[in-house]
Chain A
Amino acid sequence: MRNLKLSVLLVLFLFAGFNTNAQDADTILKKVDEVMYSPKDMTGETKIVLTNKSGKQSTREANIIQKGTDKRIFRFTSPSSQAGIAVLSLPDDVMYLYMPAFRKERRISSSVKSQKFAGTDFSYDDMEAKPNAEKYSPKLLGTEENAFILELKPKSKKSSYSKVIMKVHKINYYPISVEFYDKGNKKIKEGKSVYKKIGKYWNAQEMTMTNLKKNHSTKMIMSNVKYDQNLSDDEFTVRKLKQ
């Protein structure tokens, strides 16, 4: 009986070892990027729910349009005081902000990527649609029942993280969870996501980011997601931002 158990364990172990050899860390991360960034473009609506440490919630809503990995407009629709505020992100960290009350756009630069995006627990860094393989050097730490565990080290010295631990779905290659560690190697943020297939793409239908230090969390819920509508580059201009 004991021998049987041992041999089962051994087989499982070999299997796991075989698996890791076959799938090195770089390949896994590339596949993650493929899953996350393969649509040509996307439109959708998002609901952002902020929960503070006393459990109080506040909600914002926005429309998102995105093309490729580096063009995006975030346009808030609710609450009414913020309705119409829009953020246009273009390649090379160029960002424009439009404020309807001023009827003016302003180029904004956030020299520090670790700043929070619009009061959420996502930083500009986290919101960036830059492929993971460009941002991080991966290392495979191990596997779980249905996930690979990757340790990602930021390539840029400017990152506020020392490392990111990402769990990747073994079959579908979307990230299930991410844990962010500060320079003191303490876990400071934790992200979880629920993916659902829409058409041929996997969509992060629900993403939750929790700031463990401040006990504050942000949930982004996507709806009405449409892919590959052949959006033109003209949609991502300052002129369009002001509409």
Chain B
Amino acid sequence: MEKFTKLILKLKWLIILSVFALTSLFSYQLKNLTINSDIISSLPDDDLVAKLYKNIGSEFGGNDMGMIVLETDNIFTKKVLEDVKQVTDSLKITEGISTVTSITDVLDIKTTEFGLEIGKLVDEYELPTRQSELDSLKKYVFSKEMYKGSIVSEDATATLVLFTLLDDADKQAVAKEVKEKIEALGLSEKLYFGGLPMMMNDITSLIVADMVWLIPIVFILIALILLLSFRSVRGVILPLLTAAISVVWTLGIMALADYEITIISNMIPIILLAIGSAYTIHVINSINLNVEKDRKKALIKALSFIIVPVILASVTTAIGFISFVFGAYLAMIQDFGIFTSLGTLIALVLSIFFVPSLISAFSMYNKNTEKTNTNKKDIISNIILQPLAKLLFKHPKYIFSVWGILIMISISAMFFIQTSVNMNAYFKKDNPTRVAEDIMQKKFGGSMPIYIVFEGDMQSPEVLKLMKKTGDFMETDHNINTTQSVADLIEEMNNAMGESKKIPDDKAKIEQLWFLLDGQDIMPQLVSDELDKGIIQSKFASATTSDIENFDEKMKKFIAENSNENCKIQLTGMPSVYVKLNSSLLSSQFSSLIIAIFMVLVIVGLILRSPLKGIFAAVPVVATIIVLFGFMGATAIPLDIATVLVGSIALGIGIDYSIHIIVGFNYKLKENGDVHKAIESTIMTSGKAIIINVLSVAAGFLVLLFSQLVPLQNFGLLVAISMISSGLGSLTLLPVVLILANRKKKITAKQTFN
């Protein structure tokens, strides 16, 4: 180890120059980094439901549908209709918008006394103005299932303007322009913007806001904690510099590899700032504690001592992150796992190569070369660590019991953990997107699209009748407001031809009715060009997991009974994806935790050359994970796409504290052979680094409480709690376990460290 550290110091200028060069290269790449807030694009391609949803959404334009709600006390007035027309016209001439549907511009099939009229619900150039006209329009709209609850709310206080985007449009740019344009009209009605493109636009601005506001706060906060802890410029600059460089490298590599910032990888800079500084903290702490006349020798000694625990700490943290690659359902969580673990390793490399090089090159040695310095104990050592060490030896069993009770309580609270996949809950209550979604849910049966896909001859009476039957069946569910398919249009047309309102039995009739529908804007949203695929479009009103699961089950049964060789039926849509996402949250939580625990045990056991030590090291973190889930159960913080990450991260970071204690214990035990003294001196030395580390990491993550996205707020809180718990665990539970284990079975220096 000494040879290795000497080599580092020999190559210091080369190391400094390469770090400088790489940092400039990667910071230049940062400008290419883009934000992708499209959650749909993160759905896995190997999952049938998700794949079908993605395909159907893009094939029939449903994923690119935006909605604007105009709300007032009564929409059937001259003024409101004029305003709707204004919105409609303004959208029509917006670049990137394909079709617009609103009460002033919607396909209508009317049966009149002399024939049939295929036209629009109202003449957009001669809007009804007199009260009698408005009344009859209202009566007509509410008489037709096509409109009631889908274009006009059932209480007639809100109306919907729907628009679809062109395939090649920059969806977020269009959404942004739409919002600005419509708001600039200065209409008196209350406006709400919904649908995925609008939601994505909103998420993007929230991500940007988070990054712009939170990163500097984390930076300043960690700087303050470091200043208070180390009371030296070096102690502040070096950890922050390495953390910042690892953020730049990681984001630079992301940009180079063509990855985008998502709602989850948004957290990468904050996480790396918080944990990336940790390794340098330990390196500096070790250097501070090794005070000798020959400053270079002191540096080498300090480094030789700290390299192994720092490598162990970062590798285990990286494992915590990499465990997401195996269990996660969403691609963005896998990407997050890859790049945070990469960033962790970068921080490691910097802290053991770059930091000592800088110290040596710029003579940033400890100013005090006198041994006396160590005797002047600081606040942390005096007030916390010394009394703690005393307490541990006095009452090891009490401390053990307190942990035992805490764990029992947590285990019982764990059973109350909920899952949440509803995207709406990701926004704060007063966020305009959330408010819009709430309105959509209340007035228009939600905005969660459902598609029933029919593969078969779309002009065959059998298939159309089956579509109708399916639609009717769906509408018996109280969370389904209306359904729409080409079968509804054919029925209307058949009625208008003077036959009854049903699907004709004769295929020739259907083909001829089709002639009139051909080329209508709505057709590409309902049937494929080749007429071999069609969909029922609907929306699901409830975001409650049990409602969604009930509906999903019911539909699956119906489909199994009705699907046949001439017509294959499939169900997809946001609710189905949510069901999948939900079950995947639990299974991926389970698998990533198991992988992480297993790998950590193996690696710690191997490096410490003792499986028992590996298990000891895992005790505080396993306790922490139990406390974490107990806390989630007790406070009703749900498992969601962000909080599902906490368990493995807590494990990966938390194990570091145990490692520092165990390695310190071994080292000290080797020095003087006395368990009691070894534990005490370990707590007094590593304890300080652990407390500083817990404080800076927890503070860094607590900044996420100011995030605009609810899952990130919860994530920050939970990681902070886990850090405190595992720090506390490694300073209390682990020494107690070591003391108690030692009473039963003498741990000797020979057994533990070569």
A100, A106, A186 — most chain B CB neighbours (10 Å) = A106
Given contacts A99-B509, A100-B512, A108-B115, 19 further A-B contacts (CB under 8 A): A52-B529, A54-B529, A85-B512, A85-B515, A97-B516, A99-B497, A99-B512, A102-B497, A106-B497, A108-B516, A110-B117, A110-B119, A111-B120, A111-B123, A112-B120, A184-B92, A184-B94, A213-B166, A214-B98
* B506 CB–A CB distance under 8 Å: yes
A104 on the B face (CB < 8 A): yes
Closest Cβ neighbor of A99 among chain B residues: B512
> Any chain A CB within 8 A of the CB of B496?
yes
A111: B residues at CB distance < 8 A: 117, 119-120, 123
Q: Closest B residue to A84 by CB, please name it.
A: B512
Give chain B residues whose Cβ lies under 8 Å from the Cβ of A118. Answer: 515-516, 518-519
Binding site for B on A (CB under 8 A): 52, 54, 56, 76, 81-82, 85, 96-97, 99-102, 104, 106-112, 115-120, 157-158, 182-184, 186, 213-214
B498 and A106 form a contact (CB under 8 A): yes
Contact B115–A82 (Cβ < 8 Å): no
A56 with B125: CB separation less than 8 A: no
Asked if residues B497 and A182 are in contact (CB atoms below 8 Å), the reply is no
A79 to B655 alpha-carbon distance, docked (Å)? 73
Q: Which of B487-508 contact A (CB under 8 A)?
A: 496-499, 506, 508
Chain A nearest Cβ from B653, distance in angstroms: 51
| Cα A22 to Cα B459 with chains together (Å) | 58
What are 25 A-to-B residue pairs whose CB atoms are below 8 Å?
Answer: A56-B529, A82-B515, A101-B506, A102-B497, A102-B509, A106-B116, A106-B496, A107-B114, A108-B116, A108-B516, A109-B112, A109-B117, A110-B118, A111-B117, A111-B119, A111-B123, A115-B119, A115-B520, A116-B520, A118-B516, A119-B515, A119-B518, A157-B125, A183-B93, A213-B166
Q: Does B553 contact A (CB under 8 A)?
A: no
B119-A183 in contact (CB<8A): no
9 residue pairs, one from A and one from B, having the closest CB atoms? A184-B93, A119-B518, A107-B115, A119-B519, A111-B119, A116-B519, A81-B511, A101-B508, A106-B115
Nearest CB on A from B516, distance (A): 7
When distances are taken between beta carbons in the complex, the residues of chain A under 8 Å from B166 are 213
Q: Which residues of A contact B120 (CB under 8 A)?
A: 111-112
Task: List the A residue with the shortest CB-CB distance to B496.
Answer: A106
Known: A101-B509, A106-B115, A182-B93. A120 touches B519 (CB 8 A): yes
Q: Assess the B98–A213 pair: CB atoms within 8 A.
A: yes
How far does the alpha carbon of A56 sit from the alpha carbon of B94 in the complex, in Å? 27
Q: Is the CB of B92 within 8 A of A183?
A: yes
Complex CA distance for A186 and B520, rounded to whole angstroms = 21
From residue A150, how far is it (CB to closest CB) to chain B in Å? 23
Instruction: Determine whether the beta carbon of B512 is less than 8 Å from that of A108.
Output: no
State how many angstroms separate the Cβ of B430 from the closest Cβ of chain A: 34
- Contact in complex: B118, A108 (CB < 8 Å): yes
B459 smallest CB distance to A (angstroms): 8
B89 sits at the interface (CB 8 A): yes
Q: Are A101 and B93 in contact (CB under 8 A)?
A: no
A76 proximity list for chain B (CB < 8 A): 515
How far in angstroms is the closest Cβ of chain A from B531? 11
With contacts A99-B497, A106-B498 known, is A182 near B512, CB below 8 A?
Answer: no
**Chain A residue contacts of B499, Cβ below 8 A:** 102
Question: Shortest distance in angstroms between B370's beta carbon and chain A's nearest beta carbon?
Answer: 79
Within 8 A of A (CB), among B102-131: 112, 114-120, 123-125
Residues in A whose Cβ lies below 8 Å from that of B116: 106-108
Cβ A104 vs Cβ B92 within 8 A: no
CB distance from A238 to the nearest CB of B (A): 11
Contact of B498 among A52, A104, A119, A183 (CB under 8 A): A104
Residue among B118, B123, B497, B515 with max Cβ neighbours from chain A (10 Å):
B515
Question: If the complex has contacts A85-B512, A183-B93, are A109 and B519 also in contact, measured as CB distance less than 8 A?
Answer: no
- A107 and B518 CA atoms in complex are apart in Å by 18
Residues of chain B within 8 A of A183, CB atoms compared: 89, 92-93
* B498 and A112 form a contact (CB under 8 A): no
Contacts of B92 in A (CB 8 A): 182-184
| A residues in contact with B124, CB < 8 Å | 112
Distance of B574 from chain A, by nearest CB (Å): 27
Task: Determine the chain B residues whose CB is within 8 A of the CB of A110 once the complex forms.
Answer: 117-119
